[in-house]
Structure 1
Amino acid sequence: MDATSRPPSLAGLRRTYEGLPLREADLAPDPVSQFALWFGEAVDAGLPEPNAAVLATASAGGRPTARTVLLKGYDENGFVFYTNYESRKGRDLAENPRAALLFPWHSIRRQVRVEGSVVRLPREESAAYFRSRPYGSRIGAWASRQSAVVHSREELDARYEELSARWPDDPPVPDFWGGFRVVPAEVEFWQGRTDRMHDRLRYRRSGSSWVIERLAP
């Protein structure tokens, strides 16, 4: 590799994380309540799309993959997102119903990791959310066979126009589309600190309650 083809140096990307301490005594008794607190602070901080999360799945054979999804709801039962069931992630979850979510709130020196089992939402819940989406997004769900190979952008756009003409007002709910809920078994809250001595506090489900543990950074 000659000098002109060398990749740029990463040395200038070093940074010091100077966040407030995260102590066990500061935590809510359960991870969803703690997530709600931090999510509200991420929203108040003006983060772009604070509900964006990296979703990691794996096939039955253990082949991993990750992508960004949008969190569309959360409560004591888990964390909800929607997708095409025939997409790569949908197929992974059909074979291996476990996943991890990562919320990378870099600008406020925080991240949240969620790991757990995954279940499909009831059909009526998915249908209700689908009908609440903008018209264009509903048509798009029909037009895009997510993760399938398409020959050109023109093919995709033509499919969209065809379906818009077929359903000019109210497209039906696709049977291949719906929601998943990640039911947490572990939730970790990471707070950046100086000298790489970050705070990592993990909620781990134990029976019907939660155990809080501190992890080394």
Structure 2
Amino acid sequence: TELFQGQPTFRWIFNSFIVSFGTAFLSVIISALAAYGFAKLKIKGGKALFIIIISSIMIPKETFIVPLFEIIVDLNWVDTYASMIIPNLATGFGTFMLYSFFASIPDSVRESAKIDGAGEWLIFRKLMLPIVKPGLAALFILNFVTTWNDYLWQLLMARTEEMQTLNVGVASLQQSLNPNIGLKVAGAFIAAVPMIIVFVAFQKYFIAGATDGAVKE
């Protein structure tokens, strides 16, 4: 009861959903487009570019958080949803994960669609995406959970109480009040419930997505 009295907790939950869902959904689209291009299209210098993108996985976000913060400030995006969503959209991990799914699809499938007169965009949207649906669902879950728990970046971007996410809001509440273990546990529970619901709802896709792209026939 104390968690929901005197502070905009429902607003914090809403912000967390907007940021997490928006990031997960858009990043899946961008990763799928990039992975399909590298796996199925003949791109000049594509292999070298793919290696560079995959190498970015080894670079922790904390190493470039200062210049990234300066860019957000220059764009006047501080304390907006865009500042918490857009910097997390293009990821090497998402491209790498979906690449194996697209690469495992026989080229004959795409060539047959081309013979029937289908364009590249139609092949990608109507043929390829349904085949790699388990991988898309698994990546969506991973991105959703990662963004939901991304405390540091959301702390830097959320300047007002109305734009804070649930994790940031609960943490700030702990700083402004005397230490309250019950309040802390209540906030942790509320933050964990959406993760449990998302995982249970997409469990079969997550398990399939984690294994289906691991073997190339």
- Using the size of structure 1 for normalisation, the TM-score is 0.25
Q: As a proportion of its length, which structure holds more strand? A: 1
Larger % of helix: which? 2
Identify which of structures 1 and 2 has the higher relative contact order when contacts are C-alpha pairs closer than 8 Å and 6+ apart.
2
